[in-house]
Amino acid sequence: MLRAEDVAIWRGDRCLFESLNFELKSGQLALLVGPNGAGKTSLLRVLAGLASPTAGRVLWQGTPVDALPPELRGAIAYRGHLDGLKKDLTVAENLHFYAAIWGGSADLSLLPELKLEAQTHTRARYLSAGQRRRAALVSLRVVASRLWILDEPMTNLDTDGRATVVRWTAQHLASGGCAIVATHQPQEFERPGALVIEL
């Protein structure tokens, strides 16, 4: 579904990596590991179509990701270091916004699973960093994309939140989706057939 061909990324005059090739199939998980500054975030932004690689190309079902037609673009969801929540809107309002833009309806019944039900009508401004990350994860479920691109999703999460991320990812893969996750704890996602990309 997702294929990277000879991808290279340069930052200024420094090469982060070159000739990276991989292919992600339906139901498959890819774990992106590497030290700080190795280019994990840069690669994920390229895979999401937010940035262009210095060389090579990334294809989603045969189409370059930075030239996807609008109806295919919704198939790729990216959650990076920023939570993508408006601080002056409540959690529910943020989720309804995602639903309105991506099409579909905001399933607020997911909130208890992440212990956010008490914060449903709290403005995102008053949430803790961990709670904001949890809300961002719920928004990921709202948009129902095929490919999840997650940049260190465990940041700020407690044990319970981490377990939910792992469980949700497993469910997502089981339903035919695929995911690429940058993480410093690949053992948490331990899964047969997972592709490990080392930068």
Partner 1 sequence: MKRAFVAILQRDLQIAFRRVSELANPLLFFIIVASLFPLAVSPDSEHLRSIGSGVLWVVALLSSLLALEGLFRADAEDGSLEQLMLSPVPLGVAVLAKVTAHWLVTIVPLVVLTPVLALSFSLPVGVLPVMAFALLLATPTLSVLVALGAALTLGLRRGGAIVGLLVLPLTAPLLIFGTRAIDLGLYGESAVAPLYLLAALAALAVSLGPVAIAAALRVGVE
Please provide the distance, in angstroms rounded to a whole number, between the alpha carbons at the two ends of the chain.
Answer: 21
When computed from its CA atoms, the radius of gyration of the chain, rounded to whole angstroms, is: 17
Q: Residues 113 to 152: which contact partner 1 by CB under 8 A?
A: none
Per rule CB under 8 A, is residue 73 in the interface with partner 1? Answer: yes
Examine residue 57 and tell whether it contacts partner 1 (CB under 8 A): no
Among 51, 92, 166, 194, binds partner 1 (CB under 8 A): 51
Closer residue to partner 1 in complex, CB, 42/169: 42
* Local structure of residue 50 (DSSP, 8 states): S
Which position among 34, 74, 130, 186 is part of the footprint of partner 1 (CB under 8 A)? Answer: 74
With contact defined as beta carbons under 8 Å apart, do 21 and 34 qualify?
no
Helix locations, the chain, DSSP H: 40-48, 70-73, 91-102, 129-143, 159-174
Q: Is there binding between residue 97 and partner 1 (CB under 8 A)?
A: yes
Minimum CB distance to partner 1, residue 27 (Å): 22
Interstrand relation of 147-151 and 76-79 (parallel, antiparallel or unpaired): parallel
Options 12, 35, 62, 70; binder of partner 1; rule CB under 8 A: 70
Amino acid symbol at 3: R
- Considering only the stretches 12-20, 24-32, 92-100, 185-193, report the one whose residues sit in contact with partner 1 under the rule CB under 8 A: 92-100
Assigned token pair, 22:
């991989």
34 binds partner 1 (CB under 8 A): no
Q: Which helix (H) or strand (E) holds 16?
A: strand 14-24
Note whether 56 binds partner 1 by CB under 8 A.
no
For the chain, the 3-state helix, strand and coil shares in percent, each to the nearest 5, are 40, 25, 35
Compute φ and ψ for 59, nearest 5 degrees. Answer: -115, 135
| Sole window of 4-12, 86-94, 162-170, 189-197 interacting with partner 1 (rule: CB under 8 A) | 86-94
Q: Which stretch binds partner 1 (CB under 8 A): 4-12, 23-31, 94-102, 170-178?
A: 94-102
Binding site for partner 1 (CB under 8 A): 45, 48-52, 70-71, 73-74, 76-78, 80-89, 93, 97-98, 100-103
